[in-house]
Amino acid sequence: MNKLKILSKYKYIIILLFIVIISLYRSNITYTSKYNINDTLFSGYVIDYKYTDNKLTFILKGKELIRCNYYIEDNNKIDINYNDYISVTGELSIPNNNTIPNTFNYKKYLNNNDIFYILNIDKINNIKPNTNYFYKIKNYINKRSIDIDKNGYLNMFILGNKNYLDNDTYNTYKTNGIIHIFSISGMHISLLAGIILSLLTKIKKNKYNILFVIIFLIFYLILTNYQASILRSIIFYIFNNINKILKKNIDTKNILLLSISSILIFLPKYIYNIGFLYSSLISFTLIYYSKYFNKNYILNTLLISFISFIISFPITINSNYTINLLSILINLIFVPLISFIIYPLSLLTFLIPSLINIFNIIINITEYISNILSNINIFIISLPKMNIIVIFIYYLLVYMFLSINKKVFIIFILFLIGFKYINILDNNLYIYYLDVGQGDSILIKNKSSAYLIDTGCKKYMSTYEITDNIIKFFYSIGVYDIDNIILTHGDLDHIGNANYLINNFKVKNVIFNKDSYNELESDLINLLNKKNIKYYKGFNTLNLNNYKLQFLNTLLYDNENDNSNIIYLNYNNYKFLFMGDASKEVENNLLNKYSLNNIDVLKVGHHGSNTSTSKEFLDKINPKYSIISVGKNNMYGHPNKEVLNNLKDSLIYRTDIDGTIRFKINNNLNIKIFSP
538-590 pLDDT, tens digit each: 888 888 777 889 999 988 998 999 999 999 999 999 999 999 999 999 999 99
d(CA 305, CA 470): 31
> In the structure, what pLDDT confidence band is assigned to residue 406 with cuts at 50, 70 and 90?
low
Distance of CA 289 to the CA centre of its chain: 31
Fold type of domain 41-131: OB fold (Dihydrolipoamide Acetyltransferase, E2P) (2.40.50)
pLDDT in tens, 127-159: 999 999 999 999 999 999 999 999 999 999 999
Question: What are the residues whose beta carbons fall under 8 Å from the beta carbon of 460, sequence distance 6 or more?
Answer: 436, 437, 438, 439, 493, 496, 631, 634
Residue 465 has pLDDT above 60, yes or no: no
pLDDT the model gives residue 17: 76
Structural domain boundaries of the chain? Answer: 41-131, 153-382, 390-420, 427-674
Position 207 confidence tier, pLDDT thresholds 50, 70, 90? confident
Helical (H) or strand (E) element with 390? helix 388-404
* pLDDT at position 1: 44
392-396, 406-410, 414-418: range with lowest mean pLDDT: 406-410
Q: Which amino acid is at 88?
A: V
Rounded mean pLDDT, 514-531: 94
pTM of the model: 0.90
Q: Counting beta carbons within 10 angstroms of the beta carbon of residue 375, is it exposed (0 to 12), middle (13 to 18) or buried (19 or more)?
A: exposed
Select the more confidently predicted residue: 29 or 123: 123
pLDDT digits (tens, 9 = 90+) for 587-630: 999 999 998 999 999 999 999 999 999 999 999 999 999 999 99
Q: Cα 608–469–395 angle (5° rounding)?
A: 135
Question: Across the beta sheet with 660-665, what order do the strands follow?
Answer: 534-537, 506-512, 481-486, 449-453, 442-446, 429-433, 660-665, 669-674
CATH no. of 427-674: 3.60.15.10
DSSP class per residue in 184-245:
--HHHHHHHHHHHHHHHHHH---TTHHHHHHHHHHHHHHHTTT-HHHHHHHHHHHHHHHHHH
Mean pLDDT over the full length of the chain: 89
pLDDT for residue 396 is more than 80: no
Q: What is the pLDDT of residues 470-482, one digit of tens each?
A: 999 999 999 999 9
* Pick from 140, 146, 128: nearest CA to 83: 128
Question: Same CATH topology for 41-131 and 427-674?
Answer: no
Hey, is 114 helix, strand or coil?
Answer: coil
What percentage of residues in the chain have a pLDDT greater than 70?
95
Mean pLDDT of 485-514: 93
Residue 354 identity (one-letter amino acid) = S
- Tell me: the pLDDT tens digits for 275-306? 888 888 888 888 877 777 777 778 888 888 88
Q: How far apart are CA 115 and CA 47, in angstroms?
A: 13
pLDDT value for 401:
64
Cβ neighbors of 114 (< 8 A, separation 6 or more) are 64, 65, 269
Burial class (CB in 10 A: 0-12, 13-18, 19+), 240: middle
Q: What is the distance between the alpha carbons of residues 380 and 326, in angstroms, rounded to a whole number?
A: 8
Q: Cα–Cα distance between 144 and 163 in angstroms, integer?
A: 15
The upper half-sphere exposure of residue 348, i.e. CA atoms within 13 Å in the direction of its Cβ, equals 13
Please measure the distance between the N-terminal and C-terminal CA atoms of the chain and give it in whole angstroms. 54
pLDDT digits (tens, 9 = 90+) for 314-369: 999 998 899 998 998 998 889 889 988 999 999 999 999 999 999 999 999 999 99
Q: Crossing angle of helices 297-320/327-336, nearest 10°?
A: 120
Q: Is the peptide bond before 639 cis (omega within 30 degrees of 0)?
A: yes
- 39, 85, 91: which is closest to 69 by C-alpha? 91
Neighbour tally for 497: CB within 10 Å: 27
Alpha-carbon distances, residue 359 vs 148, 170, 346 (angstroms): 11, 18, 7
DSSP 659: B
Q: What is the mean pLDDT of residues 5-31?
A: 73
Q: Say how far residue 621 (Cα) sits from the centre of its chain.
A: 40
Q: Which of 99-103, 282-286, 462-466 is most confident? A: 99-103
How many Å apart are CA 60 and CA 42, to the nearest integer? 9
> What pLDDT, in 10s, does the model give residues 226-284?
899 899 999 999 999 998 888 888 888 889 888 998 999 898 999 899 888 888 888 88
- Which amino acid belongs to residue 445? K
Cα–Cα distance for residue pair 618/579, rounded to 1 Å = 12
pLDDT at 567: 96
Mean of pLDDT values over 21-27: 82
